[in-house]
Chains A and B, each alone.
Chain A
């Protein structure tokens, strides 16, 4: 009787052990391959995760499950391809959202300034157009002038490196306003170069 039980036990144990070995080897084959297809590109994360699954909210905390999941809030807004995956400029202009311009008065209207500043860009990228209109719909002049930008065309030195580091346009773009990704270059670099024709002639010579 005792030995029968022992046999039965041995059998069960070996099944468990073999399964474990199988899973361990699967793990190693995923993690240890020096030639995995993507070596540096990170796995795509799921979009607009609910608070309990977003990695920063404590899923056990009382409040977490009371908070609104972003997907629910964004369902009626205009979509985009990066950041919150919401086109905030269009959502505002099409009246999908009504953010207050004053803490208390829901009817206060922003003072919008429609002035485009063109910044010529070195190299092949199209020139940058900075639109005051879209910015003054959200922001106050004092949010940018004079701490981030001296209000004079061309008075500020701006480079892509400083933007990526979170300075100049990067104070907001890359943190709260639309980020810097391959899908957004052309939102800023929106004006084809005037010098295009001249460059072509040059090549022809």
Chain B
């Protein structure tokens, strides 16, 4: 009996090791995953308040609306996290809530369609040119905008 225990324990251990090393080998060599160009992570408050980060897909929305609708009419800033969006503003019909109100698009009770991000993501725009540079750029005449 004692013997059987040793066998399964040892074997299970090394099989697990083998499996882990195998996955490492595979994961290490496939091409890296990357988000669609222009996808935004919005996570200034969400995770702190116990909800997963929000992912906003630009590509999906620009098929349906010109930039002007959101960035001029609805007042979204050209900066992820810059407009100070929160749930109260959304249910009051501002920002995402101007459309996600059950009239133009599905309504806010569908929490899981917006809050789909992995834990720990930073508020940012994905796939940006800046994030892909090998060496960071320096601007000699440091003038804002």
Partner-B contacts on A (CB < 8 A): 2, 5-6, 9, 12-13, 16-17, 19-20, 23-24, 26-27, 30-31, 40-46, 48-49, 51, 53-58, 61-64, 66-68, 70, 73-74, 83-84, 86, 88, 97, 99-104, 110, 137-140, 142-143, 147-148, 157, 159, 161-162, 164-168, 170-176, 179-181
Contact = CB atoms under 8 A, between A and B. Distances in A.
Nearest to A40: B134
B137 A176 contact: no
For this complex, into which size category does the number of interface residues on chain B fall?
A: 35 or more
Nearest to B118: A58
Contacts of B141: 157, 159, 162
B62 interface: yes
B85 interface: no
A19 B18 CA distance: 8
Given A49-B34, A99-B65, A143-B71, A62 B112 contact: yes
A6 B7 CA distance: 9
A16 B126 CA distance: 41
Contact of B64 (A20, A45, A99): A99
Interface string B119-145: 101000111111011100111110111
Contact of A161 (B66, B67, B137): B137
Contacts of B32: 42-43, 45, 55
Which are the 4 A-B pairs with shortest beta-carbon distances? A174-B129, A55-B33, A63-B112, A140-B72
Contacts of A88: 62
A142 B70 CA distance: 12
Nearest to A61: B116
Nearest to A147: B145
Contacts of A83: 37-38, 127
Q: Among B58, B66, B78, B145, which residue has the most Cβ atoms of chain A within 10 A? A: B66
Interface in B52-92: 52, 55, 57-60, 62-69, 71-74, 78
A53 B33 contact: yes
Contacts of A179: 37, 127-129
Given A54-B35, A61-B115, 20 more contacts: A5-B7, A16-B18, A31-B28, A46-B31, A46-B34, A56-B35, A58-B118, A67-B57, A70-B59, A73-B60, A100-B65, A101-B69, A104-B104, A142-B72, A143-B72, A148-B145, A161-B137, A161-B139, A165-B139, A171-B78
